[in-house]
Amino acid sequence: MTAHSPTWGSPDTLVGSTPASSGPTPRGMQGQHGKYSAECGNLAGVRHIILILSGKGGVGKSTISTELALALRHAGKKVGILDVDLCGPSIPRMLQVQGRAVHQCDSGWVPVFVDQEQSIALMSVGFLLEKPDEAVVWRGPKKNALIKQFVSDVAWGELDYLVVDTPPGTSDEHIATLEALRPYKPLGALVVTTPQAVSVGDVRRELTFCRKTGLQVMGVVENMSSFVCPHCAECTNVFSRGGGEELARHAGVPFLGSVPLDPELTRSLEEGRDFIQEFPKSPAFPALISITQKILDRALAQLS
């Protein structure tokens, strides 16, 4: 295994890429696996692929992706997270692995392992940036080519679940992600919203996107639906609750649950701690476990 060479982003690295005139200099990941090839098939050992979508930014998509991965690990599953939120890759920070280097082996790029047991593997554009808070200013074709490389060239190995954190909205990056993943038949998408975002129409657009692209909606998750008091753990509905459930009913898709806004969860994500392990008494815990269980049930149903 060798450390990556700092050549990623050169004009001939990616098929069809158009380097932006300005922007970050991504740290390298090229060499023998640098060119996209549909034959690489590095998702061949992945059993179930779940996309996490949201109509709006900041509704907790990366939070749900991270906690879902942690909850699946607690259920004894081997999990990968693919962070294709190219303009705001926050998962490396949430799992406290920012700044780690991506390596290369004979079968592809080795994702970053979050724990010694290698039960959670992560690949993110965040590992390719010289500085973690640098903005990615790339044109669409270059972004799309990187997404294809993430799907084809990462040596995920055997995984029970791959959780794919996408950017907000319904951009070209979503279409590129879906096109790259389609041969591997994703289990479906989980659409995250907040009570306020439900009324804005972005979630409806997200659901329409899924319908038009043939991506099955596994369900809607309403995040930050109530506030957990840091003093007494009382849950207060700051915004009107139940919009996510009503929207799901209206759209004819399952409602998976409401996750309260818990300051302990915010802190856990800032400090890279395992919320599922450390805060079983939080009102957010049963919600996250119930959502995870529904996904496990769905995956089981697909197999049978």
Ligand X SMILES: Nc1ncnc2c1ncn2[C@@H]1O[C@H](COP(=O)(O)OP(=O)(O)OP(=O)(O)O)[C@@H](O)[C@H]1O
Residues that bind ligand X (CB under 6 A): 54, 57-63, 85, 88, 90, 168, 223-224, 259, 261-262, 265-266, 269, 284
Say if residue 9 carries a ligand binding annotation: no
Tokens of 160: 């029970």
The residue among 229 and 300 lying less far from ligand SF4, judged by its C-beta, is 229
Containing 271, the helix (H) or strand (E) segment is helix 263-271
* Interface with ligand SF4, residue 131, by CB under 6 A: no
**CA distances to 74, 156, 183, 187 from 41, in Å:** 28, 10, 9, 17
Say if residue 58 carries a ligand binding annotation: yes
Helix, strand, coil percent content, the chain, rounded in steps of 5: 35, 20, 45
**Of 125, 101, 111, 127, nearest to 79 (Cα)?**
111
Minimum distance from residue 253 beta carbon to ligand X (Å): 19
Minimum distance from residue 234 beta carbon to ligand SF4 (Å): 4
Minimum distance from residue 263 beta carbon to ligand SF4 (Å): 11
CA angle 293, 298, 302 (to 5 degrees): 150
Contact between 168 and 108 under an 8 Å Cβ cutoff? The reply is: no
The residue among 59 and 110 lying less far from ligand X, judged by its C-beta, is 59
Contact between 203 and 229 under an 8 Å Cβ cutoff? The reply is: no
Contact between 75 and 296 under an 8 Å Cβ cutoff? The reply is: yes
Minimum distance from residue 84 beta carbon to ligand X (Å): 11
Q: What residue type is 29 in one-letter code?
A: M
Minimum distance from residue 39 beta carbon to ligand SF4 (Å): 57
| Among ligand X, ligand SF4, none, residue 292 binds (CB under 5-8 Å by kind) | none
| Among ligand SF4, ligand X, none, residue 232 binds (CB under 5-8 Å by kind) | ligand SF4
Radius of gyration of the chain (CA): 19
Residue 216: how many other CB atoms lie within 10 Å: 16
Q: Which residue has the tokens 């808070």?
A: 133
| Among ligand SF4, ligand X, none, residue 224 binds (CB under 5-8 Å by kind) | ligand X
Say if residue 31 carries a ligand binding annotation: no
Contact between 83 and 218 under an 8 Å Cβ cutoff? The reply is: no
Q: Would you give the end-to-end CA distance of the chain in angstroms? A: 38
Say if residue 41 carries a ligand binding annotation: no
The residue among 188 and 283 lying less far from ligand SF4, judged by its C-beta, is 283
The residue among 218 and 284 lying less far from ligand SF4, judged by its C-beta, is 284
Q: Which residue is nearest to ligand SF4 (CB)?
A: 229
Contact between 170 and 205 under an 8 Å Cβ cutoff? The reply is: yes
Say if residue 143 carries a ligand binding annotation: no
Minimum distance from residue 208 beta carbon to ligand X (Å): 19
* Interface with ligand SF4, residue 234, by CB under 6 A: yes
* Interface with ligand SF4, residue 1, by CB under 6 A: no
Contact between 265 and 230 under an 8 Å Cβ cutoff? The reply is: no
The residue among 201 and 230 lying less far from ligand SF4, judged by its C-beta, is 230
> Binding site, residues?
55-62, 229, 232
Residues belonging to the binding site for [4Fe-4S] cluster are 229, 232
**Residues that bind ligand SF4 in the complex, under the rule CB under 6 A:** 229, 231-232, 234
Binding residues for ATP: 55-62
